[in-house]
Structure 1
Amino acid sequence: MENKTIIILLSIIAILLAIGVAVEFFAFNNNSQAANIVNNTTSQNTTVESISNNSKQDSSSVDSIEANRPKNDPNYKGYTPLHESEITSDGWNPREHETYRENMADGSQKIHYDDGYFRIVDKNGYVITYGYG
């Protein structure tokens, strides 16, 4: 009989702790920093030329991209960044999915794509970072 009482008490304590954690999470999870966010971007509409899958870049533009590409620069994801116009290794063509661009205060641009993906590129068009959101 005493073992049952101990098990019941421990169960009640565990349930109360779980309820307390849930209340703590939902009631006190105020993100006070959300009100202090400053938007330092400016929006600008940009027309994007439609380019077919079969189009090829001429050799002068490819040479220009290669000549200016940052090498082993830790400021870029991947250390050898893609140019905004390059088709990725899995065949994804960014020009087919681009929806709009935002000019950033530092001269870079944030390029938004139709699936929620974005890239931030430097003034020469090389991808600095990327993500979803």
Structure 2
Amino acid sequence: MGVIKITNIQVYAYHGCLVEEGKIGSDYRVDVEVKANLQPSAISDSLKETVDYVHVNKIVKEEMAIRSKLLETVAKRILDRIFKEIDIAEQATVEVSKINPPIGGNVERVTIQMTLSK
């Protein structure tokens, strides 16, 4: 088993329950970790046999572009697509962070983390 991590994918998106969040948007950070058997790709040196992090980045950007009220919903969509499109994925964890959230205080970010296994 091995792990592919894509850290600090920066996206501007329009998630949130407040109407203003849908109009103004804000900065987000997404971190993804995918566990899979990386031994075949280590031997073959073939991109087809590993977790293509370019593909994972594309999934994140496409799903972040779809407005949702909850970060949990976005994380679930990302996880669902990882398992649908990356056959060797055994387990994946996604963290979605809203930078400077409008919660009435000086908060750097709020983060939700979800993990899904086959």
TM-score range, shorter chain: under 0.3
TM-score normalised to the size of structure 1?
Answer: 0.22
Q: Which has the larger radius of gyration?
A: 1
Structure possessing the higher relative contact order (Cα contacts under 8 Å, 6 or more residues apart): 2
Question: Which is strand-richer, 1 or 2?
Answer: 2
